[in-house]
Structure 1
Amino acid sequence: MMMKKKVAFYTLGCKLNFSETSTIARSFQDEGFDRVEFEEVADIYVINTCSVTENADKQFKQVVRKAMKLNEKAFVAAVGCYAQLKPEELAAVDGVDLVLGATEKFKITDYINDLSKNDFGEVHSCEIVEADFYVGSYSIGDRTRAFLKVQDGCDYKCTYCTIPLARGISRSDTMDNVLRNAKEISEQNIKEIVLTGVNIGDYGKGEFGNKKHEHTFFELVRNLDKVEGIERLRISSIEPNLLKNETIDFVSKSRTFVPHFHIPLQSGSNDILKKMKRRYMRELYSERVAKIREVMPHACIGVDVIVGFPGETDEHFLDTYRFLNDLDISYLHVFTYSERDNTEAADFDGVVPANVRAKRSKMLRGLSVKKRRAFYESQLGTSRTVLFEGENREGYIHGFTENYVKVKAPWNPELVNTLQEITLTKIDEDGLVRFDFVAEFA
């Protein structure tokens, strides 16, 4: 009897990539392959790439080297955003055999007939205008939560961003298909679904570049809230101009949607927001935060911010710092601006020196630590529900409350993938909320 071929996957980048990797992995399993961990010897290694930062490019080469160390005869395939943007560059990386662009990645098993190594990677890519169809995805079996893709692509023209070049126009899954996928996930004993996409607030645009919205994001949220068997639904990153008051009000009373919002800001300076071609000013951002706090005082609010954008003076940066310091938010994701080919901003004057970018980044990361600590302290004494995850890290099990407070407890396998109501009482020296369960869980 022939041995089954083994395939392993590595995902760089965002939650959307994780959902798509899982869908690609299921297509391999449907073709009779055995999925193994990336740290194991495999016949095929598939790397789902990211192009958001310069660091992601470097990471790709490291991952290829890791695969080659595990099995120098293995077939290595690259898919994803970087594979669409710079296929020839990836194909030239030593060890890479196949590079698939945006329209081809979900057909990868059609290209895996001959697993012999190539001297130079074979490229199958497309013009991004051809990426006008939608492939639904969700991740399952990897963790206690699933990432459910509801939308892909973006019609925004932010001057620093390559995502529209890598993923194409904004297009959405059908309502029926999203609800079907959510039901499938709920039947797998997964407790939490995270909605993901490139610009999920733009949900509802048809497949073929049809600008008309068949549905709205609010309708999606309302319908998902009715799906039986889902314990928790979480909205991933959503643009402030697309997060409407009706959605915020609905989440505050929802059966399943949790009080956690991640809202990109990118800069607290209106001058810089204009240069970035963002679709709001900081005043609108303040209004969104105030609205969330009005109806959900305990909500967690995360913020994306970019430092070192061309033309960002010390005064612009301090404007951002003061704005964020005064804002009632819970944590920051700080990105150091890096030049990306084929973006408007790459040609802007006022380049910020690398050491200045690093210093600003460090200042905002410090502010994030302070904000997270203050948020956790504000939650002490409250009763929250924690979803515990499956990993034993140095004798502890970790999980998140509905409002995204990270909790740790002494390791107990019985707690994995369970929801436990606890009172948040103390913050440990590592900054996490620590909880010691009573005797029945000991």
Structure 2
Amino acid sequence: MSFDFDLFVIGGGSGGVRAARISAGYGTKVALAEENRMGGTCVIRGCVPKKLMVFASSMPGAVEEAQAYGWSAEIGTFDWLAFRTKLHAELDRLERVYRAGQDNAGVTVYNQRATIAGPHEVQLADGSTVSAKHILVAVGGRPFVPHFEGSEHVLTSNDLFHLETLPKRLLIVGGGYIASEFACVFQGLGSQVAQWNRSPLLRTFDTECRDLIVERMKARGIDVHENVIIDRVTKTETGFTAHAGDGRVQEFDAVVYATGRVPNTEGLGLESAGVTQAHNGAIVVDEWSQTNVPSIFAVGDVTDRVNLTPVAIREGHAFADTIFGATPRKIDHDLIASAVFTRPEFGTCGLSEEEARKAGPIEVYVSAFRPMRSAFAGADDRVLMKLVVCKESRKVLGCHIVAPEAGEMIQLAAIAMKMGATKEQFDETCAVHPTMAEELVTMRSPVRHQ
């Protein structure tokens, strides 16, 4: 049977563009459809612009620290529009880079929505239909806002990069890493931030680390309220009022819901093609990223496996190598490090203490201290280094770091963990002094064990 393309990729995010480019490099005829902007969530409305906002929000603290170190330094007011203009210019540049990558690889790009019309057919928004031997779905996820009275008044994380003005009073609803990161960002930019959530913040992470982060967020002035459920949001002449079930009523200039994300599969045509989906709409795939329909594959957040950009990129690359590169390979989703860009920053890899206890006997090593840099400046910041170790194999099951630049440190620790490093091998590694990271190789005695 003859097809228009060997591969049709739906979605121009991190996983989709990698799969398309690598597949085309194998001499494959590839097409890709993206209805929004090339680069997807990470580049356009996620990791990249968020990290730039993290940098911007850290400047007042840097100036305050400079003063403590003897510098005559001061900071003026924050010009949100100037920053936003430069931010969007950078995103435009990155999008051009992504598009150039597809063009240079020979990928045919359709700048419109595409849906699945059958096992080998794709329907484009202009009404045309194209055929492909293989279809790869890489449409990612989208913010989820529950339905409630006044839900039409709230914003999502997608909107935060396009605000016309910086809100003076901001409510962020949610307790995951996205909500917590933005709470820290806007507090640093000068907003009065409240964060409300129906359960403890960052509850899926190691509890000891989570407690320290939330404590420091409160100390920085973020008005955190846990176990709060919002009944409705009403519009007023001067803003928006949130009404909580515990009787709490408060007005804000903006209300942002960061209550999770869901796979972006609605209206994609998966049902008509017979593709199996999970209860939340995620595409069910096997270890090769293949669905129950042999010609249809999926990678990235749309599969709801490990929703991180580097994971989507690796899944897309592995798909291309397997199907078109004659190099079959699977992705190992174990021991994937990640970072949460709160203040303080959090880097984590492997099992939390709570998860590890369920798996068997463990030892827990912890070092908590005031880092030299902030201690000299008179700040009361705290750093926490934590290793969770299997009592029998001695392997490091979990590494958790709450500290400035924790994301940079956890990346390197993850390499050792992926290689199966034991606690004794950590101990045999000579420390780099004076650093915060040296604590990872100098913790001799467990503080807890079972």
Please give the TM-score of this superposition, normalised by the length of structure 1.
0.27
Instruction: Choose between structure 1 and 2 for higher RCO, CA contacts under 8 A separated by at least 6 residues.
Output: 2
Higher Rg: 2
TM-score (norm 2): 0.27
